[in-house]
Amino acid sequence: MKKFKCYKGLVTMLAACILWAVSLTTNISAASAQPANRLIMVDGRFAGAVDFNRDTKVIEQGPYLNLLKNYPDGYQIKYPADMWVDVSMSPVRTTLANYTTLVEIYRQPLDVVPDAYINYGNRPITTGADKVQIIKNQQTTVNGHRVRWLWWQRPRLKNVPADKNIYASVDIVVSNREVYSLLFKSASLPVLQNLVPTMVKSFAVTAKQGHHTYARQYSNHRSFPLSAAANEVLNTYFKGDKQYWGIFEHSFPARKEPLANLEQQLDYNFKFVLVYTSFDSPLPKDILQRADAENKIVELTLQTTSAGRGSLTYAILNGEYDSWLKAYARAIKDFGKPVLFRLNNEMNGDWCSYSAYHSSKDTGLYIATWRYIYQLFREQGVDNALWVWNPHDVSFPNFKWNHYLTYYPGDDYVDIVGLTGYNTGTYYPGEKWRGFKQIYDPLYQEYSAVFPHKPFMITEFGSNSVGGDKVAWINDAFRYMKEYKQIKVMIWWNGIDWDGTKPARIYRIDQTPAVINAVKQGLQGYK
C-alpha cells in the first residue's frame, strides 16, 4: 500500500510537470502578444531608468513568459514568468530559477575555436569518464546560429536537497570568438524537453552596452559558534595588522628535524604548517598533536580523493563516505585545539577530481559537497576548525562556467579566503615566468573587491627556479607582501613538482645559499 501511494505521488508530480510544460509551449504566442510590465535593474538593484554606461538588465514581464534583456552581455531571452533572476555575479553569469529548474547563462569570449571550447568542456561526459547517461548529443542550426546540444542524466543524490539531476548543456556559436553557453538543470525531463527548445529559440544577440558589476551581499554571520580558542586564533592572526609566515615541509610532522634545521638556517620559527590528507590518509589526530607539540598551527587540507577512483563527488553526496568523514571530524574535535581546515582546494583546476569538470559541469555539486561536509562536522561538534576556501588564481579550463566564484559555498560556510598563485617557471612548454606582483596585484585587487569582509591567507605559493631569477622573485615577495593588508598568513610551499625522475618545478626555499639568504633576510622584517 505504501508503494502504491509513493508511485501515485510520482505520477501526480510527473503529470503536473507535463501540464506545466505544455501550458508553457501553448502560451508562447499569447505571452508575446500581452503588454509587458517593465522592470529595470542597474548594478543589481531596481532602478527607475536604464543607464547604458552601467550594468543594466531589463525584464519585460508577461503572464507566462518574461523577456530578459542583458545589455552588458548582449543578448535577450524569454523564460518562464515564475522564475526569479539572479544577477549578483553578472561578470560571470546570469541565473534563472524556480523550484524545479535552474538555468545558468554564460557569455564566453574565446581565444580558441568554438569546437575546442565546447569539446573540451564536454569531454568527461562524452567519453564516459563522468559516469552519466547521455540523453542527446547533436548539432543543429537555430536562428542562423550553430547550436550544440548535450543532454545527460546522473543518478539522484540523496543528500542534495531538491536534487536537479537532469542536464541540458546548450552552446550557441555566434562567431569564431564568441559562444553563449546555457546550462539547464532540472528534476524533470519532460520540463526540460519543453523548456529548453523554447528558450533557445527565443535567444537573440543584441548590441552590447555598459559594463558588468558584482552585486553580491556580504555577511559575517557563521552558522554555528566557534570555540573560544578558535576565535582567539581568528582574532590574533587574522584580524590584526601583523602578517605571519608558514611553510609546507613534506616530512613534517612525521619527522621534525628537517623543519627544525631549516628554521635554524633562516632564523625564523614558522607558526603555521601545511599538511595534506585524503581518503587514503590516516585520521589526523596524531598529525595535529605532533604539530602542536612543536607549537605549530596546522593548515589541514582534506582533498576528497582516493587513488585510482576518479571523482568521488557523487559518492560523497550519496553518503558513501559518511562514516569516514564523521571519524575524521571527531579526530579534529578530539584534538580540541584550533585548526585551519582547508577543504578541496584549487577546485577550479581540472587536475582536481573534485572539480566540476569531472561531475556534470555542475559547480553547485562542489558547493553541496562543502555544505554537506560542513554539516557533518557540525553534527560531530567540531567548533575548533576555521574553514578555509581556496581556489587557484587561474581557472583551468578558463571558462566562465568554471570560474572560481561559481564554487563559493557562501559566507556562512567560510571563515578565511585562501589565495594561491605560483610562478611555475618555464620547464614545461607553454608556461611563462610570472613575477610576484604580476600574480598577486590583480589577484588581490579582485579578491578584496569581491570579499571585502573576509580575512585572506596565501595557503601555498612559491617560485620555480627554471626560467628566471628566483632570488629577485623572493625579494619582491617580501618587499610587496605588506601592501596586501587583508592577507594575514602566507605559506611557502617548500617542495618540488617532478617530471618523472626530473625536477620540473623547484619551489624549495633552501635550494641554494643565495635563495636561503634571500628568504632569511626577508623574514627578518616580519618578526
In degrees to the nearest 10, what's the CA dihedral of 281, 506, 265, 493? -40
pLDDT at 7: 34
- Residue 95 C-alpha cell reads as 541565473
Confidence (pTM) = 0.92
Fold held by 2-205: Protein Transport Mog1p; Chain A (3.40.1000)
Q: pLDDT band at 462, cuts 50/70/90? A: very high
pLDDT at 221: 86
Fold held by 228-524: TIM Barrel (3.20.20)
Cα–Cα distance between 261 and 246 in angstroms, integer? 15
- Residues 6 or more apart from 444 whose CB is under 8 A from it? 419, 456, 484, 486, 487
Q: Let me know if 257 is a catalytic residue.
A: no
Which of 178, 257, 460, 483 does the annotation list as catalytic?
A: 460
Q: pLDDT band at 31, cuts 50/70/90? A: very low
Instruction: Say whether pLDDT at 499 is over 50.
Output: yes
Instruction: Say whether pLDDT at 419 is over 50.
Output: yes
Instruction: Say whether pLDDT at 414 is over 80.
Output: yes
pLDDT at 219: 86
pLDDT at 382: 98
pLDDT at 5: 33
CA-closest candidate to residue 395, choices 407, 385, 412, 383: 407
Instruction: Say whether pLDDT at 165 is over 50.
Output: yes
Q: Within 13 Å of residue 92, how many CA atoms lie on the same side as its CB? A: 21
Instruction: Say whether pLDDT at 2 is over 70.
Output: no
For 360-397, the pLDDT digits (tens) are 999 999 999 999 999 999 999 999 999 999 999 999 99
Amino acid at 247: I
For 234-246, the pLDDT digits (tens) are 999 999 999 999 9
Indicate where the chain has its CATH 3.20.20.80 domain(s). 228-524
pLDDT at 217: 85
Residue-averaged pLDDT of the chain: 93
Phi/psi for 341 (5° steps) reads -100, 110
- Residue 155 C-alpha cell reads as 543518478
For 256-306, the pLDDT digits (tens) are 999 999 999 999 999 999 999 999 999 999 999 999 999 999 999 999 999
pLDDT at 36: 53
Instruction: Say whether pLDDT at 6 is over 90.
Output: no
- If you average pLDDT over residues 26-46, what whole number do you get? 67
Answer whether 505's CB lies under 8 Å from 424's CB: yes
Instruction: Output DSSP code: residue 211.
Output: -
**Quick one: CA dihedral 501, 504, 505, 507, positive or negative?**
positive
Instruction: Say whether pLDDT at 174 is over 80.
Output: yes
Which of 320, 346, 379, 483 does the annotation list as catalytic?
A: 346
Q: Let me know if 431 is a catalytic residue.
A: no
pLDDT at 487: 98
For 292-321, the pLDDT digits (tens) are 999 999 999 999 999 999 999 999 999 999
Q: Which bin fits 205, alpha (ψ -120 to 50), beta or left (φ > 0)?
A: beta
For 480-490, the pLDDT digits (tens) are 999 999 999 99
- If you average pLDDT over residues 8-19, what whole number do you get? 40
- If you average pLDDT over residues 345-353, what whole number do you get? 98
Instruction: Say whether pLDDT at 87 is over 50.
Output: yes
SS3 sequence of 33-78: HCCCEEEEEECCEEECCCCCCCCEEEEEECCCEEEEEECCCCEEEE
Q: pLDDT band at 218, cuts 50/70/90? A: confident
What is the C-alpha radius of gyration for the chain, rounded to an integer number of angstroms? 25
Instruction: Say whether pLDDT at 525 is over 80.
Output: yes
Pairing of strands 502-506, 496-499: antiparallel
pLDDT at 15: 42
Pairing of strands 272-278, 502-506: unpaired
pLDDT at 316: 98
Distances (CA, A) of 357 to 53, 307, 516: 35, 18, 39
pLDDT at 1: 36
Question: In a 3-state reduction of DSSP, which class is residue 273?
Answer: strand
Indicate where the chain has its CATH 3.40.1000.10 domain(s). 2-205
